[in-house]
Amino acid sequence: MDRRQLLAVLSLVPALAQYARAQTSKARRIGVIMPSTPAATANLAAALEQGLRERGYAPGRDVHVEYRYSEGRLERVQELTRELVDGARVEVIVSTTDSVVQAIKRHAPNTAIVMVNTSDPVGNGLVESLAQPGGSITGITNLSPEISAKRLELLKESVPGLARVAYLWNSGLAGASDVRAELQAAARRLKLDLRSVEARRVEDIAPALATIGRGPATALLVQAPNPVLYTERRRIAELARAQGLPSMFNRWEYVSAGGLMSYGPNVPDMYRRAAGYIDQIFKGARPGEIPVERPSQFELAINLQTAQALGIAVPRAVLGRADRTF
């Protein structure tokens, strides 16, 4: 390239930069508040961006996705919400769990919110009804009254002689008491002794599991959804296995980390489907007019290596229903 060609190319740089800035300014802006860590939710972010691409939005070109992480600290949600609304100027915020969505709504009442994997959006005041949400929130809930009982049923069916189950939970989460009431009713019907063990912070997990391991419980059931416990899923699965506790969870990610079983909706797929709600809002739909979806399919996951380590022969009838094995 001679000197004249080089100068010609260099003269185009300001114009190209201006064009890039113009394209960036046209891109839609999405905020995502994950109540966990980047590493723990990387698969969820990937699923959301996959859904956006399926609907014709190229992340980084047509849409900018601003991620924020509260790392299990609910008190950080206010600050993160303000960063997204006042700083990044996002048009819609995607988030999960009833408590976090409640906090976002409180601090950004006029911003569209797409919720994912909430447990009781009507009972916790997020929406007026599933068919007609009203207000600024819509999305996908995991609400299914029978799912908690189904987890206990599968656990009992898979662990011969199961009599006592420890429930690891945070009683302060929105809707927690209602879910425990459902579990207690199911436990009575199944003739199981259900005992609750509290873990509100990361620091509470190891002592709580140590207590369970020394006590009379013969299996572990983990609260869902719970951002702190989900973030520490590998640690929980490993501690339960080390203490000889068969464990039941709501998501297969726990099972891939070493837990025994899980039963629940495919949460990454929920994030992929959340892109459809974003697309409707970008095209002018009001969140309050877009019906909230409930899960229609549930996945059973089993870790066969963990079963072998615990000396459990999972019945063929249960194995035959498994959607994932590890």
**Domains in the chain and their CATH numbers?**
3-143+267-289 (3.40.50.2300), 147-264+299-325 (3.40.50.2300)
pLDDT tens per residue, range 40-51: 999 999 999 999
Percent of the chain with pLDDT over 70: 92
DSSP readout, 13-81? Answer: HHHHHHHHHHHHHHSEEEEEEESS-TTTTHHHHHHHHHHHHHTT--BTTTEEEEEEE-TT-GGGHHHHH
Percent of the chain with pLDDT over 90: 81
What does the pLDDT read at residue 20?
43
Confidence check: pLDDT of 193 > 90: yes
What does the pLDDT read at residue 97?
94
Contact 93, 84 (CB under 8 A): yes
Confidence check: pLDDT of 13 > 60: no
Structure-block tokens of residue 137: 């929130």
What does the pLDDT read at residue 24?
44
Confidence check: pLDDT of 117 > 90: yes
pLDDT tens per residue, range 260-317: 999 999 999 999 999 999 999 999 999 999 999 998 789 999 999 999 999 999 999 9
Mean pLDDT of the chain: 91
